[in-house]
Amino acid sequence: MMKPSLSVSASPHIHAKADTSSIMWTVSLALLPATIWSVYAFGFRSLLVLAVSIGTAMLFEYLLGLFSKEDTLWDGSAFLTGLLVGMNMSPSIPLYIPCVASFFAIVVAKWTFGGLGANWVNPALAGRVFVFFSFTTPMGRYVMPRALSSIVPDALSSATPLSFVKTSIVSGSLGMSSDQILANAGYPASSLATSLSHAIGLSPYTIDAFIGNVGGCIGEVSALMLLIGGIFLFVKKILSWQTSVSYILSVAILSWIFGGLRSDLGFFQGEVLSSVFTGGLMLGAIFMATDYVTSPITHKGQIIFGLGCGFFTFLFRYFGSMPEAVSVSILLMNIVTPTIDRFIVPRKFGDTKEYRKQLKEEKV
């Protein structure tokens, strides 16, 4: 009688009814609210960018599948990678740039290291960072959403709130909060945000960032839509809270304590909500830092991973040369993931305090 052979496959290993394919397509579905909002806010140009990035990613997945004789085209991983690549692009980006980003994500970051489960960095983030440093000028140009496009001054038409505030502080606008800098420069706010600001007392710029009426990348502008997708994944038990919550909270707390230093405002003078809702923090914390393959496997490890992402994001955003550094921060922590997993190991089945006490007594 032949002994049964042991089949060893690459991670992720999921001991549930869900499989890799269903998880990938469910995550893509969770990004639908943010995708719909981007089309509403920026028009069909954003949909074209997404279609190009997804199409390119699936094309190279298909070609490499032919070469390796693996049928991975419809497992959802290439579709999700292309979708995330597109969501990290400006609606005005030249279409060859998402093509290059998707090529790098699929061919270099994923397949070069063995395909799904063997990649050591998030492929979409790797593609985004590659084109960011390769095509810095077009990657730094943004457009305003339709709610603001008719009232925004030409000087501010391609600046996100984060980039404009950072540039102003470097130019000498000290002693002012981010909201004051934006207001003094005439940075526009939507009529809805202005009305809500009078009613609830929050800054109209914070409200616009939460709703999605700010300039930025396609998938990052609406914190509300990203939260809806994140809650959906949490309810479906695909997303755990450890990485996302520790990431967002660490950025919020560090921004509050130290964020005012760069403007000479002192400690505990930083802005919390604007630091959370602006830029790519919500997209990165919910949909990219939580990647099963490139994040730690234990809950303690995921908290450490999220704290590290938050620290680097705060450091680069407030004191580095880049206005936004979510992608770079997550990639840096992807490098540290094997070390975290090496030292933060799950307790073995049956390893209780009583059992360890018994072993200790037996050794004595």
Q: How confident is the model at residue 45 (pLDDT cuts 50, 70, 90)?
A: very high
Q: What is the mean pLDDT of residues 105-122?
A: 90
Q: Please give the pLDDT value at position 313.
A: 96
pLDDT tens for 308-358 read 999 999 999 999 887 778 999 999 999 999 999 999 877 665 566 676 666
* Cα-based torsion angle of the residue sequence 25, 27, 31, 33 in order, rounded to the nearest 10 degrees: 90
Q: In whole angstroms, give the CA distance from residue 300 to residue 319.
A: 28
Q: How confident is the model at residue 1 (pLDDT cuts 50, 70, 90)?
A: very low
Q: In whole angstroms, give the CA distance from residue 353 to residue 326.
A: 40
Q: Do 38 and 253 contact (CB within 8 A), yes or no?
A: no
Q: Please give the pLDDT value at position 26.
A: 96
Distances from the Cα of 279 to the Cα of 214, 300, 344, angstroms: 10, 27, 31
∠ CA 72-38-43 to the nearest 5 degrees? Answer: 110
Q: How confident is the model at residue 23 (pLDDT cuts 50, 70, 90)?
A: very high
Q: What is the CA radius of gyration of the chain?
A: 22
pLDDT tens for 270-323 read 989 989 999 899 999 999 999 999 999 999 999 999 999 999 999 999 998 877
Q: Which residues fall within 8 angstroms of residue 86, CB to CB, at 6 or more apart?
A: 49, 50, 51, 52, 53, 54, 98, 218, 219
Q: What percent of the chain has pLDDT over 70?
A: 87
Q: Please give the pLDDT value at position 154.
A: 56
Q: Please give the pLDDT value at position 307.
A: 97
Q: Please give the pLDDT value at position 184.
A: 84
Q: Which residues fall within 8 angstroms of residue 209, CB to CB, at 6 or more apart?
A: 161, 221, 223, 274, 277, 278
Q: In whole angstroms, give the CA distance from residue 33 to residue 20.
A: 22
Q: What is the mean pLDDT of residues 16-45?
A: 90
Highest mean pLDDT among 19-33, 107-121, 171-185: 19-33
pLDDT tens for 214-226 read 888 999 999 999 9
Q: Please give the pLDDT value at position 158.
A: 63
Residue 316: how many CA atoms within 13 Å on its side-chain side? 18
